[in-house]
Structure 1
Amino acid sequence: MKVYSTLLLLFGFCCPHHMAAAETIIVVANTSDKSIKLNRQQVRNLYMGGIMPYDLKAIALPPENHTRVIFNTKVVGLTESRIQSYWAQMRFTGRKKAPKEIKNEMSVLEYLQNHEGAVGYLLAGTPIPDGLSVIYTVR
């Protein structure tokens, strides 16, 4: 029992740091202007169809993807069901179109490399190819 308690104690002290690092999100763009840096509100506007000072097109991961859940929680600030409801209303009224969904993180990187102006989100630590730049980081 003492060994079990000690392991639990050690696990509790060492893992929150690793879990927090694993949940850091980076927003990556393919843009010729490498000086572009966005704040949280600008990224939220980009993903929710708001006004943007740059000509950027958001892409998203599918709703069941864990990275998307983290992104929605930390950046958009809405649950998946609220986001889906919002986009259903926007489609119905013909006002805005939801970001294009890409099946997984590797496909996001491939899409970004091939589409100038595209913006996607990934977990921090994902190797970013040359030509792409990180425009926002949220911990």
Structure 2
Amino acid sequence: MKASIALLASILISICSNCHANGALTVVANIDKELINLSRHEVRNLFMGIATRYKLSAISLPPKNHTRIIFNTRILGLTESRIQSYWAQMRFTGRKEAPKEIASEELMLEYLRNNKGAVGYLPAGVSLPDELTVIYKIF
């Protein structure tokens, strides 16, 4: 098990370096192969804690992660400081909680594999396990 995770991590890292250059990402979910294709607006709403028509749980990478920076810029349209300010206000007023943060792309992939309804973003080109489905692509 540990050997397969290490192999997956090394493959992911090599793929990520190429994908980071062009900013291509995929939003993936563990949804039992339902046919779901979200729009950019729906993905943004999901990651900003706004209700969507699907029962999905957004998962994010940590603030300084390059993949997160690309996601924030291209999908949310906000800087990290604006996002942190938004979530601080939501927590203070008791309205919403920020998405759970996962430390790395490798751990994100593992978390998504093991949690039904979880949605996250990864560099495009990452080899996805059968449990995960691409629901949005960012080129």
Corresponding residue for residue 65 of structure 1:
65
Q: Is the 2:19–2:124 Cα contact (8 Å) retained in structure 1?
A: no
Runs ≥4 residues deviating over 6 A: 18-21
CA distance in 2, matches of 1:19, 1:103: 19
**Other structure's SS at 1:82 match:** helix
CA distance in 2, matches of 1:116, 1:73: 27
Corresponding residue for residue 48 of structure 1:
48
CA RMSD of aligned residues (A): 1.4
Q: Deviations over 1:37-62 (max 9, x none)?
A: 10000000000011200000000000
**Other structure's SS at 1:35 match:** coil
Displacement of 1:21 = 6.4
Larger Rg: 1
Q: Which runs of 5+ in 1 are unaligned?
A: 1-17
Q: Is the 1:29–1:119 Cα contact (8 Å) retained in structure 2?
A: yes
**Other structure's SS at 2:53 match:** coil
What is the number of residues matched between the two proteins?
122
TM-score scaled by structure 2? 0.84
Corresponding residue for residue 102 of structure 1:
102
CA distance in 1, matches of 2:97, 2:20: 32
Q: Does 1:137 align with 2:133?
A: no
TM-score scaled by structure 1? 0.84
Residues 1-139 of structure 1: matches in 2 within 5 Å? 22-139=22-139
Moved more, 26-35 or 82-91: 26-35
Corresponding residue for residue 8 of structure 1:
none
Change (3 A) 1:98 1:117: same
CA distance in 2, matches of 1:64, 1:33: 31
